[in-house]
Amino acid sequence: MRYLCSCSFDGLLFYGSAKQPEKRTVCGTLELYISKILNKQTLIIPSSRTDKKVHANIFCFHFDTEQTLDPKKFTNSLEKLTPDDIHIISTELVDDDFHARYNVITKEYVYIINKGQYSVTKRNYQLEYNKPIDVEKLKKASNYLIGTHDFKSFTSDNEKENYIRTIKYINIENDNDLIKIYICADGFLKYMIRNIIGLLLEINESKKKVEEIPKIIESKDRRKLGIKASPNGLYLNKINYI
């Protein structure tokens, strides 16, 4: 039988979501405690792969077991075992052909930027930019990124066969001192969002022009970009399934 779980996590003390030898990761931690509950080594399949220090308001994964589980009891048991920086939200029985990764239609990330006074207590959960942001300028720039493009310029991964992704929307909200940038797509490349945010910030500072974006996309060259934004302000925010 196959079960789908959802959780949230604080990524500060994790080396990302994917398992790594001798590193504290989200999937490694979840597998450890699920295997204890089921009394059998159990592999989990995650919906996404997140970088070191990236957070998640929602993160999904599936696993297979021969045992019949009570979803609510399993959720409560796993919640009791996992550390405080992981919260188990729910568990449900799904069809055997369901796949936590391949059945994803879209994912939404949100990036949080503080343009106000430096916050020592929130510095690990938002980008401490601490200077004005021209939201209208960023919105104009974002329009060039929405749609289907080859985003090879926005990743350092040179081993992909396909760099084409479709960004459904980029919404920018001004919430007092916080700028929240929501990006939804059918998939993301390694560092793609952080590179997009870095580009937007360079445009905000007039280091790059809005009109340069089509040429950057067409170049398929990461060197045409500048900074890669910090992971601290990035959250996996929504996962939409078929």
Nearest to 17 by CA among 25, 7, 9, 29: 25
Q: Which residues of the chain have pLDDT under 50?
A: none
At 161 the pLDDT is: 87
**Can you give the residue ranges of every domain in the chain?**
2-94, 105-241
CB 65 within 8 A of CB 31: no
Structure pTM? 0.96
pLDDT of res. 242: 79
Q: What is the 3-state secondary structure (H, E, C) of 170-234?
A: EEEEEECCEEEEEEEECCCCCCHHHHHHHHHHHHHCCCCCHHHHHHHHHHCCHHHCCCCCCHHHE
Check: CB of residue 140 under 8 Å from CB of residue 160: no
Q: Are 222 and 155 in contact (CB under 8 A)?
A: yes
* Distance between CA atoms of residues 160 and 162, nearest Å: 5
Per-residue b or e along 75-97, where b marks 16 or more CB atoms closer than 10 Å to that residue's CB: bebbeebbeebbbbeebbebeee
| Distance in angstroms between the alpha carbons of the first and the last residue of the chain | 19
Evaluate whether 2-94 and 105-241 have a shared fold.
yes
Distance from C-alpha of 33 to C-alpha of 47, rounded to nearest angstrom: 19
Residue 7, pLDDT score: 98
The CATH classification of domain 2-94, taken from the options 3.40.50.720, 3.40.50.300, 3.40.1370.10, 3.30.70.580: 3.30.70.580
Q: Which residues are catalytic, by number?
A: 51
How much is the pLDDT for 160?
Answer: 85
Condensed to tens digits (0 to 9), the pLDDT of residues 190-228 reads: 999 999 999 999 999 999 999 999 999 999 999 999 899
CA pair distance 119, 41, nearest whole angstrom: 42
CATH class of 105-241: alpha beta
